[in-house]
Structure 1
Amino acid sequence: MSLRSTIDFMLYDWLDSVSLTNRNRFIEHSRETFDATLDMCERIAREKYAPFNRLVDIQEPRIEGDRVVLPEATYEAHKAYAESGMLSAAQDADIGGMQLPHSIEAAANAFFACASIGINSSMLTSSNANLLMAHGSPKQQEVFARQEYAGRWSGTMCLSEPQAGSSLSDIVTRAVPDDEANGVAWEHDPLGPRYRLRGNKMWISAGDHELTENIVHLVLAKIPDAEGKLIPGTRGISLFIVPKRLVTENGELTGDRNDVALAGLNHKLGWRGTTNTLLNFGEGKYKVDGKAGAIGYLVGEPGKGLACMFHMMNQARIAVGIGATALGLAGYYASLDYARNRPQGRPILGSGKDSAQAQISIIQHADVKRMLLAQKSYGEGALALALYCARLVDEQQTGDAASADDARLLLDLLTPIAKSWPSEWCLEGNSLAIQIHGGYGYTRDFAVEQYWRDNRLNMIHEGTHGIQALDLLGRKVLMENGRGMQLLAARVQATIIKASAQPRLTEFAQSLGAAVQKLGLATQSAWSTGNPQEALANAVPYMQAMGHTVLAWIWLDQACCVLANDPDLLVPSNQGRIGCTHYFYRFELPKISAWLNVVSARDMTCADFPEDAF
C-alpha cells in the first residue's frame, strides 16, 4: 500500500474532506481539485526530491567566502516547490493563494518530507508568512509575507541563543530604537517601528543560503527599560522582522546587506541538506548607514513577541510531527520491500527446520511481521493524527462559533502530542527498519540508516520532548478548567459507542474505555497535592501514555470507518488497517499502565536522585 492510497483513505473515507467544499471558503474546490494538488505534489516529490535524498546527505552545505553553497538539486527542488504554489496553498485567493483546506495542504506536504526531508526546507517560510498575516501590519504583510508566499524570499524563526536554548526568558539579544533615517522618525517607518538589534542566535534552520533573493528572519529580542537594563523573564521579549537584505517600503531590494552575519554552520547527524546556522546580529560586519546594529521592524506590540511567536511555533510543531511521520513511513516502505525480497531461513515445521526446503523471504517470519506491523501502526497512525489536527484547523477557520472554539481548544491540547508522539515512535519505527535490513541496514548502501539519522532531530527541535511534556501536563490539560480534556474524552466516547456496535471491535472499545479512565485518574492524582514539582516529575511518561491513548482512539475510529465501508474486508488495505488496530491494542496500548503508575504515585525517583550519585 502506497502513501497516496493511505492519504486517500484518511482524507476521503475517514475525514470526509470533500464535505468541506460545501463551506464558503472552499466552495470553488472539489474532489478533483484536491486530487490534482496531491498528484502534482506527488510528482514533484518523486522527480525533484527523492532522487537526490542521498546526494544532499553527502554533499553538506559549505561556506565559500560569505555565501553558503548547496547542491544544484536543492535549487531545482526549491524552484519546483515555489512554482507549485504550495507555499501559499491554504491562503486567500486574493493574495495569490489556492485557498485549500489545511488538511489537503498537510497531506500534500507529506510527499516532500517522505521523499527527502533534507531538501524540504520550506516549512518555516510558510509558518513565518502565516505569523505575519496574523500579527503583522498590512504593510508588513504586503512587503514580507507575500514575497515569501511567492517563493522569492524565504523565512526563519530566530529564538534560541548559544546560552539559552528552550529557556527563552534568558535571551539577551537586545533591540533599541533606531535614530531618524531618511527624514523618518524610528516609530513612523512605513515597515513598522524601526529598531537596531544586537545579539547572537543559534540553531537557525535555513538561516543562510542563496535559494531565494532574501531571507526574512523573525527574531525575538528584548527592549531595554528606561535605564537600559533588560527586563528579566519573558515580559520584555518582542518580535522583529530582520531581513538579510534591506528593502524599501515597496518591497524592493536596496542592494545593501543588513547587519546580519553568518557565524558558522552546524554539522548535523542528519537532515544535512538544510543549513543550520549561528547568526550574529549587529556586530558591525555589514554596517547600515555607517553604524553597527541590524535593522529590525517591530511586529505587534512591544513585550508581546513570545505570544506572536507561538503562532509560528505551534504550526512548526505540527509540521515537525508530519516530517517525523513521513520519515517513519519512508523507512517502513523500504523495509517492507526488503523483507519481501530478501530470502533468509526456512519454515519452522513441527519437527523443526528442513534444510532441504528452499529459503523463504524474511517477511514470512513472525518476528519480522511484528516489526513491520509496529512500523505500519506507528507511521500510519501518526499520519492520521496529523491530518486530524489539520482538519481541526479547517474547523477552527470555517466552522460555526461553537465548533470553531471546540476545535481551537482541542488542537491546543493535541499539539504537544502531534509533535512528540511521531517524533518518538516513528523514530523507533526507523530503528526497526534498520533491524529488518540486518547488517545491511547499518551501512550506507541502504537508505534506512539515513532515515533514522534524519528523524533523530525531531525529538529535539521546535521544543524538546521534555518541553512538550511539561506543556501538556503543566498547562494544556489544565487550561479552561480542563475543558480540552473533556472535549477529547467526549470524542473518544463517541468512537467507543460506534465500535461497541461492531462485534469485531468490542474488545478494543472496552480497552480504550479502560485506558481513558486510567488516564483521567492519573491526571487527577498527579495534581492532587497541587505541587507542580511532584505533578511534573513524570511529565514525559504521562505524555507517552496520553499519546498512546490518543493513537489507540485514532486507530479505532479508522477501524469503524473501514468496517462501515468494507464489512467483509475484501480490500487488502482494509485488512491491513484492521490488523494494525489489533496490533496496537494488544502490543502497544498495554504499555500505558507502567507509564501511568509512576504518574499516579507522583514517583520522585528521578527528580530526587542526587547529582553526585551519577
Structure 2
Amino acid sequence: MTSLLISREDLRFQLYDWLGVEALLQAPRFAAHSREMFDAVIDSCERLAADVFAPCNQAADRQEPQFDGERVAVLPQVAQAVRAFADSGLLAATQDDAVGGMQLPVVIEKAALAGLYAANIGACAYPALTIGNASLLLAHGSPAQIEAFALPQLRGEWTGTMCLSEPQAGSSLSDITTRAEFECDSQLGPQYRLAGRKMWISGGEHEILGNIVHLVLAKVPDADGKLPPGTRGISLFIVPRSLPRADGGAGERNDVSLAGLNHKLGYRAAVNCALNFGEGRHTPGGRAGAIGYLVGRPGAGLACMFHLMNEARIGVGLGAAALGCTAYLHALDYARNRPQGRLPGPAGKDPTQPQVPLVAHADVRRMLLAQKCYAEGGLGLVLYCAKLVDEARIAREAGDAATALERERLLDILTPIAKSWPAQWCLAGNDLAIQVHGGYGYTRDYKVEQFWRDNRLNAIHEGAHGIQGIDLLGRKVAMDESAAFDAYCALLESEIARGRASIHTDWADALATRLARLRDVTAKLLAVPDPVARLANATPYLEAFGHVTVAWVWLGQALALGTRDDDFAQGKRQAARWFMQWELPRVDAWLDRLADNDDTALAMRDAWF
C-alpha cells in the first residue's frame, strides 16, 4: 500500500499497542496464527490495493457501468480487481476451516480491508456484499443452502447482494409489497415464486463472476391472498440470478431482470440498480415468477437479514473511516509540497522571500488536525467493534456466556455509532481535505473531490443517519433494562479511572463530566412517555453519544502511547489534545438542548416552511 492510503504505522499502533489483538492468539480458534501471520495478511491487502484497486479508482468513477439492452458492463479493470480479490481467499478470511476459511479474527480482516476501501471503495462493494451474504447463509441457511449458495461465494465463484428496499417503501420495510407464494418443497428448502421490485441494489447485475445470489425480503400472503401488515410477516429468500445445476454450476436463468441503473454521486465502480422479480421476462420451469428458497422460519426474515445488516453497518463505518484516512494523507502530502504565501510579520511582507509550504500556516494545520482526529478516531472505533465480535465468539466457544453477552451488548449499542459517526465526521474531514487543496481540490486533477463524493453515500447506506439515532435512543439504550447502556458506561468509566491515574487527568475529567451528563439526559429522555416527542431529537442524541465515544477512543490511544516520545507519538497526543479541547465541548450544546427535550423541530408545521 502506498503511504497515501492508510498509515501502516497507525494501523500497527491501533492493533497491537491500543487494542492488544495479540491476546486473541490465546483462544483456540486463533491459536494457529501469529502476529507475523496477521501482518502478512495486511501486507497482501496492501499490495492488492496499490497494484490492482487504486489504479482504476478514478477511471471507474468516470466510466460508470453501462447497460447495452442485454448486459451490464463494468470497467474491465474493476472486474479484474474483483476477480483478484476473489482469488486471494479473503472472501472466507474469517470463516471456519471446514468451509475453506482462514479463521482470521474479524479485527484483522477489517484492518486489512481498510486499505482496499481507501484504494477503491466502489469496487470493494462487490466482495463486501458477497462476504455478508455468505456469512448470513452460514448462520441461518440449511446445510443444502450453504452447499449450493454460500460456498460458491466463499470460493470466489459467485457474488451476492441484499435486496431490502423498494421504490415506494425506502427505509420503511413494513411497507414492502414483494410477495412470495409457496410452490413446493425442494432439496434447497421450501420453494416459492416471488414477484415485486427492489431498489438500490448494489452489485445487482453484472458479468464479473458466474452467478449472483440475491437475498430478498418478501411477504407471504395469507389464506385470503392479502399481504400481512408490518414487519412480522416479512420472510427471507435466496433468489439466485441463475438456478443452480445438479453439479453446482449456474444453470437456467431465473425470473430476475434489470429494471434500470441508478446513476450516483459516488461509488460509481459498483453497479447500483432496480431489479424486477417475477416480471415474466424469464420463465424458469415454464412459468413466470422468480424462484426463491425460504431461509429460516416464515416471518423471521428481518431477524435473519439483520445478521447481514449489522455486519454491513460496521463495514460502512470502516469504509467511511478509510476514505477519511486517505483524504487526510492526500491533504497532508499536498500541504507539505505546495508552496504558498508567507507567514505574518515583517518577513512575510517581503515578496523577495521564498514562499512557505501550506503546512506552515496555522489554519492549514488546524484543518489537518481535525482530519486526523476524525479519520484515526473513526478507524479506532470500527476496529474496536470488530474486536468485540471476536471476543464475543471466543467467550461463546469457551462456554463463558456472561462475558459473551457483555461483549454482544456493547456491540449492539456501539453499532449505530460505528456506522454513523465515521460516515458524518470523516465526510467533514473530506471536506477539509478539499479546502486544504484550495481551488485544485474542487477539480478532478486531484482525488479529494472523489473521496468526498464516495463518502457522502455512507451516511445513507444501511440505515440513514437519522435512523441510527432512532435505533440508538429508541431501542439500544433502553433494551434489557438498559443493560447495554450500563455496560457502555462501565467501559468508559474504566478508562476514565486509568486516565486519572496518568498525566492525562484533565482529559479523563472532561470525559467523565460529559459521560455523567449523557447518563442524566438519557434517563430524562427515556422518561418521556410520547415516543414521537422522545425521538424528535434522536439525531442530536446520536451526535453527542458519538463524540463522547470517540473521546474515549482518543483517551485510550493516548494512554497506550505510554512514555513513547517520537514524532508519531507526539502527533497522536496532539490529535487527542485537539479532540478533547475542540471537539468534545461540542457535546455540551447538544446535551443542553436534549436535557429539556427542545421541541423546536417537532413544533414546526409544514405550512410554515
TM-score, L = length of structure 1 = 0.96
Which range moves more in the overlay, 402-411 or 160-169?
Answer: 402-411
Which of 312, 332, 351 is the matching residue for 1:355? 351
**Which residue in 2 is equivalent to 1:151?**
156
Which range moves more in the overlay, 9-18 or 191-200?
Answer: 9-18
CA–CA distance in structure 2, aligned partners of residues 458 and 190 of structure 1:
39
Give a deviation string over 1:152-185, Cα, whole Å, max 9, x none: 010000000000110000000000012xxxxxxx
CA–CA distance in structure 2, aligned partners of residues 491 and 401 of structure 1:
18
CA–CA distance in structure 2, aligned partners of residues 513 and 348 of structure 1:
39
**Which residue in 2 is equivalent to 1:521?**
520
2:140 is the alignment partner of 1:135 = yes
What's the CA shift for 1:261? 0.3
**Which residue in 1 is equivalent to 2:237?**
240
**Which residue in 1 is equivalent to 2:574?**
579
- What secondary structure, in the 3-state scheme, does the structure 2 residue paired with 1:607 have? helix
CA–CA distance in structure 2, aligned partners of residues 570 and 354 of structure 1:
37
- What secondary structure, in the 3-state scheme, does the structure 2 residue paired with 1:333 have? helix
**Which residue in 2 is equivalent to 1:594?**
589
What's the CA shift for 1:64? 1.8
Flag the 1:191–1:250 CA change in 2: closer, same or farther, 3 A.
Answer: farther
- What secondary structure, in the 3-state scheme, does the structure 1 residue paired with 2:603 have? coil
2:211 is the alignment partner of 1:208 = no
**Which residue in 2 is equivalent to 1:181?**
none
- What secondary structure, in the 3-state scheme, does the structure 2 residue paired with 1:349 have? coil
- What secondary structure, in the 3-state scheme, does the structure 2 residue paired with 1:388 have? helix
What's the CA shift for 1:252? 2.6
Maintained 8 Å contact 1:271/1:454: yes
Q: How does 1:154-553 map to 2 (within 5 A)?
A: 154-178=159-183, 186-187=184-185, 189-248=186-245, 250-254=247-251, 256-349=252-345, 353-399=349-395, 400-503=400-503, 505-553=504-552
Maintained 8 Å contact 2:328/2:368: yes
Maintained 8 Å contact 2:321/2:378: yes
Amino acid at match of 1:278: A
- What secondary structure, in the 3-state scheme, does the structure 1 residue paired with 2:189 have? coil
CA–CA distance in structure 2, aligned partners of residues 116 and 289 of structure 1:
40
2:128 is the alignment partner of 1:123 = yes
CA–CA distance in structure 2, aligned partners of residues 14 and 605 of structure 1:
42
- What secondary structure, in the 3-state scheme, does the structure 1 residue paired with 2:284 have? coil
**Which residue in 1 is equivalent to 2:115?**
111
Maintained 8 Å contact 2:478/2:526: no
**Which residue in 1 is equivalent to 2:88?**
84
CA–CA distance in structure 1, aligned partners of residues 96 and 229 of structure 2:
39
2:48 is the alignment partner of 1:44 = yes
CA–CA distance in structure 2, aligned partners of residues 299 and 249 of structure 1:
20
Maintained 8 Å contact 2:83/2:209: no
What's the CA shift for 1:602? 1.0
Q: Which runs of 5+ in 1 are unaligned?
A: 179-185
Q: Which runs of 5+ in 2 are unaligned?
A: none
Give a deviation string over 1:292-351, Cα, whole Å, max 9, x none: 100000000000101100100000011000001111111101100000011111122378
- What secondary structure, in the 3-state scheme, does the structure 1 residue paired with 2:299 have? coil
Flag the 1:537–1:350 CA change in 2: closer, same or farther, 3 A.
Answer: farther
**Which residue in 1 is equivalent to 2:556?**
557
Give a deviation string over 1:506-527, Cα, whole Å, max 9, x none: 1100000001011111111212
Amino acid at match of 1:555: W
Give a deviation string over 1:537-562, Cα, whole Å, max 9, x none: 10000000000000000100111010
CA–CA distance in structure 2, aligned partners of residues 374 and 424 of structure 1:
13
CA–CA distance in structure 1, aligned partners of residues 570 and 528 of structure 2:
47
Which range moves more in the overlay, 71-80 or 367-376?
Answer: 71-80
CA–CA distance in structure 2, aligned partners of residues 91 and 582 of structure 1:
39
CA–CA distance in structure 1, aligned partners of residues 368 and 347 of structure 2:
27
CA–CA distance in structure 1, aligned partners of residues 587 and 342 of structure 2:
36
Amino acid at match of 1:248: R
May I ask how many residue pairs the two structures share in their alignment?
A: 600
Maintained 8 Å contact 1:159/1:168: yes
CA–CA distance in structure 1, aligned partners of residues 236 and 246 of structure 2:
19
- What secondary structure, in the 3-state scheme, does the structure 2 residue paired with 1:91 have? coil
Give a deviation string over 1:222-262, Cα, whole Å, max 9, x none: 000011000010111000000000113552322x1100000
CA–CA distance in structure 1, aligned partners of residues 304 and 419 of structure 2:
19
Maintained 8 Å contact 1:191/1:249: no
Which range moves more in the overlay, 116-125 or 583-592?
Answer: 116-125
CA–CA distance in structure 2, aligned partners of residues 320 and 91 of structure 1:
20
CA–CA distance in structure 2, aligned partners of residues 248 and 222 of structure 1:
27
CA–CA distance in structure 1, aligned partners of residues 581 and 411 of structure 2:
28
CA–CA distance in structure 2, aligned partners of residues 599 and 19 of structure 1:
40
Which range moves more in the overlay, 161-170 or 111-120?
Answer: 111-120
- What secondary structure, in the 3-state scheme, does the structure 2 residue paired with 1:570 have? coil
What's the CA shift for 1:353? 3.8
CA–CA distance in structure 2, aligned partners of residues 67 and 5 of structure 1:
44
Which range moves more in the overlay, 234-243 or 569-578?
Answer: 569-578
Q: How does 1:84-103 map to 2 (within 5 A)?
A: 84-103=88-107
Flag the 1:351–1:154 CA change in 2: closer, same or farther, 3 A.
Answer: closer
Which range moves more in the overlay, 595-604 or 450-459?
Answer: 595-604
CA–CA distance in structure 1, aligned partners of residues 147 and 246 of structure 2:
10
- What secondary structure, in the 3-state scheme, does the structure 2 residue paired with 1:241 have? strand
Give a deviation string over 1:346-391, Cα, whole Å, max 9, x none: 1223786443321100101111001000000000000000100000
CA–CA distance in structure 1, aligned partners of residues 122 and 159 of structure 2:
16
Amino acid at match of 1:592: V
Give a deviation string over 1:400-423, Cα, whole Å, max 9, x none: 322211110100000000000000
What's the CA shift for 1:461? 1.4
- What secondary structure, in the 3-state scheme, does the structure 2 residue paired with 1:216 have? strand
Amino acid at match of 2:138: M
**Which residue in 2 is equivalent to 1:182?**
none
